[in-house]
């Protein structure tokens, strides 16, 4: 029986067509700025989002951490939701890499508002850190794939500009947000000072994220990437997968969202489910009833060759993706309906 892996949208393998594009890529030494495929990926991604320049990096953690370091200084502060990946899942990197502190907001399903941000801005007084940067996450991972619409983002941009705060987007799943909201990436450039886009999540490449911003910002980011050890040489083989994905794997994200909705509908009527989070994109999060532990649930699924993720006490996360086929969906729905504890 084939394995159905719903732990994350990072588990995908490159398609044969993507591999072909990778093998065919012209390459050079990117630390010298001489890899034509990396340059093409950086330019392509930047122009999609209406920004001047891009920087190809090994991971989304690196693009986020570079952006935070470029926007802040030691003794300054980053404002974000308490569920944010940059705070929860990047190993405390903000403190270690940037010497900055974090002001945590309690938004709704990972989403924050201008009001919440205004409440997080420190008074101009030597007792406090200097508020410097606001970071949004779209879609929100811990928020269960919730997303911002452009008008919501524009209101936040205005607040940040009024208070002289930079605005960064952790766009690990930004294309899921854009497809779900039926919006274009182009206006994002006018809203954010920097954007991190992951290629290795829903877009299905093996490696890489792109950081976007103005030319001077990316120049600064390029220096920081070198210090972080992220300067890669013939990275065009990896960048080619990104170009292929941007051309071919964005619109199909709607399939992942439809499959996630079917999983949610199935779970809704399962006796082992206590509570479902709303499902807006490709992430399904639910709470198990007290009588069933995460370990028990995951073990039962695994006997049917299905993998899911323990996402905290009594909480399970499923993520749909490129390699989650119709046949796997049918199998998963059948297994969930027949699970008994």
Ligand X SMILES: *Cc1c(COP(=O)(O)O)cnc(C)c1O
CB of 170 to ligand X, least distance (A): 5
What distance in Å separates the CA atoms of residue 44 and residue 207, rounded to the nearest whole number?
17
Q: How many residues bind ligand X (CB under 6 A)?
A: 13
CB of 205 to ligand X, least distance (A): 11
Task: Decide if 168 contacts 131 (C-beta within 8 A).
Answer: no
Residue 123 Rama label (left phi>0; alpha psi -120 to 50; beta): beta
> Is residue 170 a contact residue for ligand X (CB under 6 A)?
yes
- One of 85, 109, 111, 259 touching ligand X (CB under 6 A): 85
CB of 36 to ligand X, least distance (A): 24
Task: Decide if 18 contacts 205 (C-beta within 8 A).
Answer: yes
Kindly write down the DSSP assignment for every residue of 70-83, as one continuous string.
HH--TTEEEEEETT
Part of the chain binding ligand X (CB under 6 A), chosen from 183-191, 198-206, 268-276, 290-298:
198-206
Subset of 54-73 contacting ligand X (CB under 6 A):
59-61, 64
CB of 273 to ligand X, least distance (A): 24
CA 255 to centroid of chain Cα atoms:
18
Total Cβ atoms within 10 A of residue 43? 13
- One of 83, 97, 194, 209 touching ligand X (CB under 6 A): 209
Subset of 1-60 contacting ligand X (CB under 6 A):
59-60
Specify the residue, 309 or 335, whose C-beta has the smaller distance to ligand X: 309
Total Cβ atoms within 10 A of residue 17? 10
> Is residue 256 a contact residue for ligand X (CB under 6 A)?
no
Per-residue 3-state assignment (H helix, E strand, C coil) for 143-172: CCCECCCHHHHHHHHHHHHHCCCEEEEEEC
> Is residue 280 a contact residue for ligand X (CB under 6 A)?
no
> Is residue 172 a contact residue for ligand X (CB under 6 A)?
yes
- One of 134, 198, 240, 336 touching ligand X (CB under 6 A): 198
Query: Which two tokens mark 292?
Result: 């069933």
Chain position carrying tokens 């809704």: 268
Provide the binding-site residues for ligand X, judged by CB under 6 A.
Answer: 59-61, 64, 85, 137, 141, 170, 172, 198, 200-201, 209
């Amino acid at each position: 029986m084939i394995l159905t892996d719903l732990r994350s949208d990072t588990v995908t393998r490159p398609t044969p067509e993507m591999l072909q594009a990778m093998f065919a890529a012209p390459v050079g030494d990117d630390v010298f700025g001489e890899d034509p495929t990396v340059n093409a990926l950086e330019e392509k991604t930047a122009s999609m989002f209406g920004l001047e320049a891009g920087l190809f990096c090994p991971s989304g953690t690196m693009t986020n951490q570079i952006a935070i370091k470029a926007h802040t200084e030691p003794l300054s502060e980053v404002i974000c939701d308490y569920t944010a990946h940059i705070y929860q899942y990047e190993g405390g990197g903000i403190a270690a890499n940037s010497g900055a502190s974090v002001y945590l907001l309690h938004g709704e399903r990972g989403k924050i508002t201008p009001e919440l941000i205004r409440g997080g801005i420190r008074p101009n007084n030597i007792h406090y850190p200097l508020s410097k940067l606001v970071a949004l996450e779209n879609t929100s991972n811990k928020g269960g794939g919730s997303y911002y619409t452009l008008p919501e983002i524009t209101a936040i941009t205005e607040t940040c500009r009024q208070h002289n705060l930079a605005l960064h987007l952790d766009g690990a799943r930004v294309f899921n947000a854009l497809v779900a909201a039926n919006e274009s990436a182009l206006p994002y450039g006018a809203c954010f000072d920097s954007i991190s886009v992951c290629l290795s999540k829903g877009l299905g490449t093996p490696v890489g994220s792109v950081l976007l911003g103005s030319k001077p910002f990316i120049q600064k980011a390029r220096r920081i990437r070198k210090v972080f050890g992220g300067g890669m040489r013939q990275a065009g083989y990896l960048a080619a997968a990104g170009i292929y994905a941007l051309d071919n794997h964005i619109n199909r994200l709607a399939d992942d969202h439809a499959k996630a909705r079917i999983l949610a509908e199935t779970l809704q009527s399962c006796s082992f489910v206590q509570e479902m989070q709303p499902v807006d994109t490709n992430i399904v999060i639910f709470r198990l009833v007290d009588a069933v532990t995460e370990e028990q649930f995951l073990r039962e699924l695994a006997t049917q060759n299905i993998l899911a993720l323990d996402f905290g006490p009594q909480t399970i996360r499923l993520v749909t993706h490129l390699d989650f086929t119709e046949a796997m969906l049918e199998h998963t729905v059948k297994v969930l309906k027949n699970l008994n504890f």
